[in-house]
Amino acid sequence: QVRLVESGGGLVQAGGSLRLSCAASGNIFSVNVMGWYRQAPGKQRELVASITSGSRTNYADSVKGRFTISRDNAKMVHLQMNSLKPEDTAVYYCNARSPLMYWGQGTQVTVSS
């Protein structure tokens, strides 16, 4: 079992920045990939960025060049979000795969125009 707790969401104006963090606990040594997903109202949950235990990263085309995922260790993963746009508004979820899927409770990011 893996527990994920997100922090760092909030309200920001377009062009601004936010940094999300996710703290993992439990059986973290079974986790291969950690990542961030988001879900906007009326839309499906989508992958934003992911990072493997070997630090290989993957980004959605819509956030490339603006967002950066990083990992301090097996317990913490961050998402630095720059040049935010109103279309980035969503609930952001931390995800861990072991290969079981684990989710955090989500944190709201709202970007005003």
Token pair 């795969």: residue: 97
Nearest Cα to Cα of residue 1 among 80, 94, 101, 84: 101
Q: What is the pLDDT of residue 11?
A: 97
Pairing of strands 10-13, 107-112: parallel
pLDDT tens for 63-110 read: 999 999 999 877 899 999 999 999 999 999 999 998 899 999 999 999
Per the model's pLDDT, the better-predicted residue between 28 and 23 turns out to be 23
Cα angle, residue 7 at apex, residues 53 and 25 outer, rounded to 5°: 45
Percent of residues, the chain, with pLDDT higher than 90:
88
